[in-house]
Amino acid sequence: MINKVITRALIVALLFLVGGTGLFATGSEEAEGEKPTLVWVTSVQGGREPEEIPLFDAEVERLTGVRVQTIKPPGSEYTTKLTTMLASGEQVDIAYAGGGTYVNFVEQGLLTPLTDRIEASPVLSDSKIIPASEWDRVRSADGEIYGVFNKFEQGTLAIVRGDWLDKLGLSEPQTLDDYYDVLYAFTYDDPDGNGLDDTWGMAIGYTLYDMVGLFGSHGLMRGWVYDEAGELYSPYASDEAIPVYEWIAKVYADGLLEPNFITNNSGAFRDLFMGDKSGMNWYWAAWVGLYNQQVHTEDPNNPFEARGIAPPEGPGGRLLKAGGDGFMVVPGLSEYKDEAFQVAEFWHTYDGNVLSTLGILGHDYNMVGGKYVMTEIGDAHARDHGAPQPKSLAWVNPFGELPGFDEAAAIVREYALPQMATSFDKIWEDITRGEAAKIILGDITAAQGVANMRARFAEEGIGAY
Indicate the residue among 391, 406, 437 that finishes a domain.
Answer: 391
Q: φ and ψ at 425, to 5 degrees?
A: -65, -40
Residue 33 is predicted with a pLDDT of 66
When pLDDT is averaged across residues 249-256 and rounded to a whole number, the result is 98
Which residues, at least 6 apart from 454, have a Cβ–Cβ distance to it below 8 Å?
237, 465
In a domain, 442, yes or no: yes
Q: What is the pLDDT of residues 174-217, one digit of tens each?
A: 999 999 999 999 999 999 999 999 999 999 999 898 999 999 99
Higher pLDDT, 424 or 99: 424
pLDDT exceeds 60 at position 24: no
Residues forming beta bridges with residue 386, ordered by sequence position: none
Q: Among 102-106, 144-148, 176-180, 362-366, which stretch is predicted with the lowest mean pLDDT? A: 102-106
- Cα–Cα distance, 396 to 353 (Å, whole number): 9
Shared domain check, 298 and 193:
yes
Write the pLDDT tens digit of every residue in 62-93: 999 999 999 999 888 999 999 999 999 999 99
User: pLDDT value at position 32?
Assistant: 56
Nearest-angstrom CA–CA distance, 317 and 175: 10
pLDDT in tens, 27-68: 444 555 689 999 999 999 999 999 999 999 999 999 999 999
233: number of CA atoms within 13 Å, CB side? 19
For residue 450, give every residue at least 6 positions away whose Cβ sits within 8 Å of its Cβ, in sequence order, or none: 236, 237, 238, 239, 241, 242, 245, 435
Q: Residue 191 and residue 173: Cα distance in Å, rounded?
A: 16
Q: State yes or no: pLDDT of 26 exceeds 80.
A: no
pLDDT at 6 over 70: no
In the chain, the percentage of residues whose pLDDT exceeds 90 is: 88
348 and 124 in contact (C-beta within 8 Å)?
A: yes
* Structural domain includes residue 402: no
How many other C-beta atoms are found inside a 10 Å radius of the C-beta of residue 430?
12
Mean pLDDT of 293-306: 96
- Beta carbons within 8 Å of 337's beta carbon, 6+ residues apart: 93, 112, 330
> Which phi and psi angles does 243 have, rounded to 5°?
-60, -30
At 29 the pLDDT is 45
DSSP strand E in 146-216: where? 148-149, 155-161
**How many Å separate Cα 463 from the centre of its chain?**
27
Residue 19 has pLDDT above 80, yes or no: no
**Predicted local distance difference test score (pLDDT) of residue 31:** 53
**Do residue 144 and residue 177 come from a single domain?**
no
pLDDT at 386 over 90: yes
What pTM was computed for the model? 0.84
Whether residue 167 is found in the same domain as residue 267:
yes
Give the 3-state secondary structure of 65-99: CCEEEEECCCHHHHHHHHHHHHHHCCCCCEEEEEH
Which of 3-12, 42-51, 235-244, 307-316 is least confident? 3-12
In a shared domain, residues 128 and 172: no
Residues 189 and 215 in one domain: yes
Instruction: List Cβ neighbours of 247 (8 Å cut-off, separation of 6 or more).
Output: 176, 180, 214
Would you state the pLDDT for residue 11?
35
Domain region containing 57 = 2-151+325-391
Query: Is there a domain that residue 80 lies in?
Result: yes
pLDDT at 379: 92
Distance of CA 60 to the CA centre of its chain: 24
CATH number of the CATH domain containing 12: 3.40.190.10
Residues 284 and 431 in one domain: yes
Contact assessment for residue 430 and residue 240, using Cβ atoms and an 8 Å cutoff = no
pLDDT in tens, 106-123: 999 999 999 999 999 999
Residues 170 and 258 in one domain: yes
Q: Is residue 396 part of a domain?
A: no
Based on the fold, state whether residues 137 and 112 are members of the same structural domain. yes
Same domain, 305 and 364: no
Q: Is residue 400 part of a domain?
A: no
Q: How many CA atoms lie within 13 A of 31 on its CB side?
A: 7
Q: Which helix (H) or strand (E) holds 233?
A: strand 232-233
Rg (CA), the chain: 24
Are both 43 and 122 inside the same structural domain? yes
Amino acid at 437: A
Q: What is the pLDDT of residue 332?
A: 97
Mean pLDDT score of the chain, rounded to an integer?
A: 92
Q: Are 419 and 221 in contact (CB under 8 A)?
A: yes
Q: Are 209 and 158 in contact (CB under 8 A)?
A: no
Mean pLDDT of 161-183: 98
Looking at the domain assignment, is residue 449 inside a domain? yes
d(CA 153, CA 391): 8
The whole-angstrom separation of Cα 376 and Cα 331 is: 37
Q: What CA–CA distance (Å, rounded) separates 267 from 264?
A: 8
Could you give the number of structural domains in the chain? 2
Say whether both 329 and 187 belong to one domain. no
* Identity of residue 216: G
Alpha-helical regions (H) of 78-175: 78-88, 99-107, 115-120, 132-137, 162-167
Under a CB-based contact definition with an 8 Å cutoff, are residues 333 and 86 in contact? Answer: yes
DSSP string, 291-320: HHHHHHHH-TT----EEEEPPPPBTTB--E
- Whether residues 39 and 69 fall in one domain: yes
